[in-house]
């Protein structure tokens, strides 16, 4: 692997997706893939451009992004704080962990009918579902990260006069960080998944709505466009998470 040069390392992973795209386009032109089953990539691109022109695309994408982000922040912060307290304090652990583990085992998407009855189909229901989905992976990994910080390092810190805040920021938090970041990366996946399902079932705006609406008019290109946008956002959020992982854990190379 060492012989592969830097620039090649950047290009090679994209060869397969690019080839697939070209095949797809060529087969569509030749009529092997019927337009009613799957539109050509160029048609999808066209649909994207025209929706961008009317401002529709921007509207749907921004509302979806807002839901994703708001849900992620609310769920992430709650999960992180519970993970933190339960990881550090035995009392908090004893009091809350069992309850959280029970709630965690309910598939949060199963709550959709209930959530619609509670909140209707407006923003609250979607943000609630995303937050619920994001909370548990962040909780589990923060909790586990703090529990598994090397006890010997904590003892060293105490022996060298660290306690409370300084012990937390010098030893416990950095020791748990890699596990916390794994939780965040995982929860980003859950975030998109939850949003897609929630938006397809009940909504009047957003990317999922755009796709469901297009289905009624048999606009295959718009449906595929929505899927592509989801994929792009998923990849983008994963890249951002990886970037922070690299930046925050650069000692670990």
7 binding another protein? (CB under 8 A): no
With CB under 8 A as the contact rule, the residue among 12, 155, 231, 236 that binds another protein is 155
Of the candidate residues 41, 174, 189, 234, the single one contacting another protein (CB under 8 A): 174
Interface with another protein, residue 25, by CB under 8 A = no
* Total residues interacting with another protein, rule: CB under 8 A: 20
Q: Does 156 bind another protein (CB under 8 A)?
A: yes
Q: Which residues of 216-231 are buried (b: 16+ CB within 10 A; e: fewer)?
A: eeebbbbbbbbeebbe
Of 65, 162, 197, 201, the residue at the interface with another protein (CB under 8 A) is: 162
Closest to another protein by CB, 99 or 252? 252
Q: The dihedral of CA 109, 111, 113, 119: what is its sign?
A: negative
CA distance 231 to 42: 17
Element (H, E) at 170: none
Does 130 engage in binding with another protein (CB under 8 A)? Answer: no
Residue 13 contacts another protein per CB under 8 A: no
Q: Determine the Cα–Cα distance for residues 156 and 88; give it in Å rounded to an integer.
A: 17
Rule CB under 8 A: say whether 247 interacts with another protein: no
Q: Is 160 in the site for another protein (CB under 8 A)?
A: yes
Exactly one of 61, 134, 171, 184 binds another protein (CB under 8 A); which one? 171
| Apex 109 CA angle, 79 and 124, nearest 5 | 70
C-alpha angle 181-17-235 in degrees, rounded to nearest 5: 25
Q: Which of 65, 147, 175, 186 binds another protein (CB under 8 A)?
A: 175
Residue 157 DSSP one-character state? H
Q: How far is the CB of 159 from another protein (least distance, A)?
A: 5
Residue 226 and residue 190: Cα distance in Å, rounded?
A: 18
Considering the rule CB under 8 A, would residue 169 count as an interface residue with another protein? no
Q: CB of 238: closest distance to another protein in angstroms?
A: 23
- The answer to whether residue 15 forms part of the interface with another protein (CB under 8 A) is no
The answer to whether 252 contacts another protein (rule: CB under 8 A) is yes
Name the phi and psi angles at 148, rounded to 5.
-100, 15
Scan for tokens 């596990």, then name that residue. Answer: 179
Q: How far is the CB of 160 from another protein (least distance, A)?
A: 4
Q: Does 159 bind another protein (CB under 8 A)?
A: yes
Token digits of residue 196: 């897609």
Q: Decide: is 246 part of the binding site for another protein (CB under 8 A).
A: no
Q: How far is CA 226 from the centre of its chain?
A: 17
- The half-sphere exposure of 40 on its side-chain side, counting CA atoms within 13 A, is 13
The minimum distance between CB 248 and another protein, in angstroms, equals: 9
Which positions touch another protein (CB under 8 A)?
152-153, 155-162, 166, 170-171, 174-175, 177, 249, 251-253
């Amino acid at each position: 692997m060492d012989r592969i040069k830097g620039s090649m390392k950047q290009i090679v992973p994209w060869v397969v997706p690019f080839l697939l795209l070209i095949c797809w386009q060529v087969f569509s032109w030749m009529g092997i893939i019927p337009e009613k089953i799957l539109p050509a990539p160029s048609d999808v691109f066209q649909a994207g451009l025209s929706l961008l022109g009317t401002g529709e695309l921007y509207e749907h994408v921004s509302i979806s992004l807002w839901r994703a982000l708001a849900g992620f922040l609310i769920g992430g912060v709650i999960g992180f704080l519970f993970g933190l307290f339960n990881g550090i304090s035995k009392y908090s652990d004893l009091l809350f962990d069992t309850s959280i583990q029970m709630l965690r085992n309910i598939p949060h998407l199963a709550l959709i009918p209930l959530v619609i009855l509670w909140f209707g189909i407006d923003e609250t229901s979607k943000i609630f579902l995303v937050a619920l989905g994001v909370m548990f992976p962040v909780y589990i990994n923060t909790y586990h990260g703090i529990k598994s910080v090397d006890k010997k390092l904590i003892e060293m810190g105490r022996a060298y006069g660290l306690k409370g805040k300084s012990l937390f920021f010098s030893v416990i938090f950095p020791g748990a960080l890699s596990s916390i970041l794994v939780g965040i990366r995982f929860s980003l996946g859950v975030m998109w998944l939850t949003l897609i399902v929630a938006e397809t079932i009940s909504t009047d705006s957003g990317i999922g709505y755009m796709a469901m609406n297009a289905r009624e008019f048999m606009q295959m290109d718009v449906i595929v466009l929505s899927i592509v946008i989801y994929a792009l956002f998923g990849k983008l959020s994963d890249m951002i998470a990886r970037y922070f992982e690299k930046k925050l854990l650069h000692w670990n190379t």
